[in-house]
Each structure stands twice: as C-alpha cells, then as structure tokens.
Amino acid sequence: MSNRIHVKLDALASTVEEINKIEPALKKPCEELVTWVAERDGQDPKKIAENLKTLVAFTPTANLGAVDPLLNTARRFVNDWKDRFWGIVWSHLNFVSRDFPKAIFLAEYWEPCSSFSGKKVLRGGREVRSIRDGNQRAQGYDWALPDIFAPYRAEYHNGAECGSLWDQWLSEMQGQLSDLKAYYAGPNVAEQDGSIGGQS
C-alpha cells in the first residue's frame, strides 16, 4: 500500500514577473526531468510526459502578501502524490528552484498515515535548510517541528539578504526554549489536577 505525501509550497519571488513565470513552471516537468525518468524506467519520453505533468503539477491556492495581484510577488501552491514518487516530485521542485535562483521556496510536507512531517527551504536548485518530525506522539500532529521558515520570511519581507537572520533566529529560539524550561520546570497542570485532553 502506498501512502500519500501532501505539500504546501510558498514561493517567494523577487518580482511580479518572476512569480508569474514560476507558476507555470511548477505545473510542468522540465525536459531534463522527463528525460531522466524516461531513461531510468526505459520508457519513451513523449509517452510519459503527460503522466509526469499530472504528478508534479502544483496548484496555486492563494497570493501571499500584497492584496493586489498586480503587485504580488509571493504565492502558495499545493500538491499531493503517492510516496513512491517522492524523488520525482522533489527533483521537479529542485529544477524549478534552480531555474529561478533569486526566489525562495518554503515547502512543508506531511504524511498523516505514517505520522511524519517536515519542512524544506530551497534556493538556487538546492536544499539550504530542512527539518523532519518523524516521531510524532499523535498521528498526523506535529510534535517537534520548529518553524525554520520564520527567518526566511522575515528576510524576504524586510528586503534582507537570504540566510542573514538564520543564526540570530536560532539563538533566540534556543533562548525561548530555555525560558520555557526554566519557567515551567515543575509538574504540568494536567498532572496536578488530573485533567486529560485539555479538559478538567
């Protein structure tokens, strides 16, 4: 049995023109990907191109940021596929990222049946940051998945250099966790009053 991977992808472009080119690129596999899959599987590239297009196509769901579509440079997309196609779809995203090296791609993925999730930051055709939560305590619910997108969103909206806020964010997150640990060092409220599932 094959489970399905779900992805929510935010594409943060440098210009309106760029985001308008990224959208069709996310809907269609590049020739390099088609050729690679065809050679790997011993098939005719022309015969598999349409099936690959259906597999890798990311559907736009919302503009992010500017309300006016004529000014918007960021867009959200979604896709889902059977887990056996993991390599093909991520390769597709890497190729699109490579072709638009100024853009930042923030991909959040999850597979509720196997109970794991993760986040990837892609830029210039490579994965610059990633994190995976594969030990969830409740099926389909994140357990230990920090928001590694936060510094990249802040940089993007402030016009800062990509990656310039990472170290500061990491340090401040460590501080926040230390504060939580120090402040809530004793037994939690549920243990004290016997409440379960958020109810007393």
pLDDT in tens, 59-103: 999 999 766 777 889 999 999 999 999 999 999 999 999 999 999
DSSP per-residue codes, 134-196: ---SBTTB-SS---TTHHHHHHHHHTPPTTTTHHHHHHHHHHHHHHHHHHT-S--HHHHH--B
pLDDT bucket at 195, cuts 50 / 70 / 90: low
Average pLDDT over residues 154-161: 94
Percent of the chain with pLDDT over 90: 78
- Per the CB < 8 A criterion, the answer to whether 11 and 121 are in contact is no
Q: What is the DSSP letter of 42?
A: T
- Residue 91 dihedral angles phi and psi, to the nearest 5°: -65, -40
Domain ranges of the chain: 4-145, 149-185
- Per the CB < 8 A criterion, the answer to whether 106 and 119 are in contact is yes
- Per the CB < 8 A criterion, the answer to whether 28 and 107 are in contact is no
- pLDDT(24) > 70: yes
pLDDT at 162: 94
Residue with tokens 């930042």: 104
Mean pLDDT (the chain) is: 91
CB atoms within 10 A of CB 152: 26
pLDDT at 187: 66
pLDDT bucket at 200, cuts 50 / 70 / 90: very low
What's the CA gap between 164 and 46, in Å, rounded?
A: 43
pLDDT bucket at 113, cuts 50 / 70 / 90: confident
pLDDT at 192: 55
Name the region of 159 (left: φ>0; alpha: ψ -120 to 50; beta: rest).
Answer: left
pLDDT in tens, 135-157: 888 888 899 999 999 999 999 99
Percent of the chain with pLDDT over 70: 90
Sign of CA dihedral 22, 24, 29, 30: negative
Architecture field, domain 4-145? 2-Layer Sandwich (3.30)
pLDDT bucket at 194, cuts 50 / 70 / 90: low
Which residues neighbour 152 within 8 Å (Cβ) at sequence distance 6 or greater? 12, 104, 106, 121, 129, 162, 163, 165
Q: How many CA atoms within 13 Å lie on the side-chain side of 189?
A: 5
